[in-house]
């Protein structure tokens, strides 16, 4: 089995919580097949894991994956050159399974119909809840001053979550609370 894993940052070596989770996923997935991890930031890195290779999306490194102002509250809107490079890597590697890290990279799921691989969106958290909680935590005057913009941002974030759940074959979540945010058909069965 061949597995393609898209991550925002290079998880080798894992330094942050998200990188630790992505490295753990790569390690677990390597038990069932060859894993190619492709990151939008960082340089190609050697991994200590057998059966795992890492590449960096060169166009994303040139474009700069982190922007202070994004048009979408939770997704990184990928330029055409990044999508084309991701599409070419997907086609060349011909994976059986593609794992996409978090909503920030959910736009990559839209490439799936062209390639036929099963897809998973790995949600480290529910970004629409994070956006809503952040807005709710603002002082009242700040919330009221931007009430329309805040409603739009929450709506966009929820739509991104729903779209990812509808497009991906499976959604991985971290908790029972997060699990309740999605329809049961989108999530894997749990034991116990």
Cis peptide before 15 (omega within 30 of 0): no
Q: Which pLDDT value is given to residue 69? A: 45
Q: Please, what's the b/e burial string for 134-167 (b: 16 or more CB within 10 A of its CB; e: otherwise)?
A: ebeeeeeeeeeeeeeebeebbebbbebbebbbeb
Share of residues in the chain with pLDDT > 70 (%): 91
Q: What is the pLDDT of residue 112?
A: 92
> What does the mean pLDDT of the chain come to?
86
Q: Which domains are assigned to the chain?
A: 2-186 (3.40.50.2000)
pLDDT digits (tens, 9 = 90+) for 80-128: 999 999 999 999 999 999 999 988 888 999 999 999 899 999 987 787 8
* Of 157 and 60, more confident: 157
| pLDDT at 64 (0 to 100) | 67
- List, edge to edge, every strand of the sheet that includes 97-101: 52-56, 34-39, 2-7, 97-101, 118-122, 170-172
| CB distance 102 to 18 below 8 Å | yes
pLDDT of residue 109: 93
pLDDT at 59: 82
- CA gap 130, 181 in Å, rounded: 12
SS3 for 59? helix
The predicted structure's pLDDT at residue 70: 62
Which range among 13-17, 21-25, 81-85, 108-112 shows the weakest confidence by mean pLDDT?
13-17
Indicate if the pLDDT at residue 144 is higher than 60.
yes
Main-chain phi, psi angles of 94, to 5 degrees: 50, 60
pLDDT at 65 over 70: no
Mean pLDDT, residues 76-82: 86
């Amino acid at each position: 089995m061949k597995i393609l894993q898209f991550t925002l940052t290079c998880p080798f070596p894992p330094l942050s919580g998200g990188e630790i989770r992505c490295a753990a996923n790569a390690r677990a997935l390597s038990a069932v097949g060859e894993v190619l991890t492709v990151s939008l930031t960082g340089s190609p890195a050697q991994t200590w894991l057998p059966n795992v290779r890492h590449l960096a999306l060169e166009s994303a490194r040139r474009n700069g994956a982190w922007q202070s102002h994004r048009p979408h509250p939770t997704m990184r809107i990928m330029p055409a050159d990044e999508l084309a490079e991701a599409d070419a890597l997907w086609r060349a590697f011909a994976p059986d399974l593609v794992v996409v890290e978090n909503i920030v990279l959910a736009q990559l799921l839209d490439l799936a119909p062209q390639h036929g691989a099963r897809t998973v969106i790995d949600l480290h958290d529910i970004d629409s809840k994070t956006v809503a909680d952040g807005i709710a935590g603002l002082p009242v005057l700040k919330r009221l001053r931007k009430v329309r913009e805040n409603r739009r941002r929450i709506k966009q974030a929820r739509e991104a979550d729903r779209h990812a759940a509808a497009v991906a074959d499976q959604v991985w979540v971290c908790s029972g609370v997060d699990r309740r945010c999605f329809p049961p058909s989108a999530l894997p069965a749990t034991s116990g």
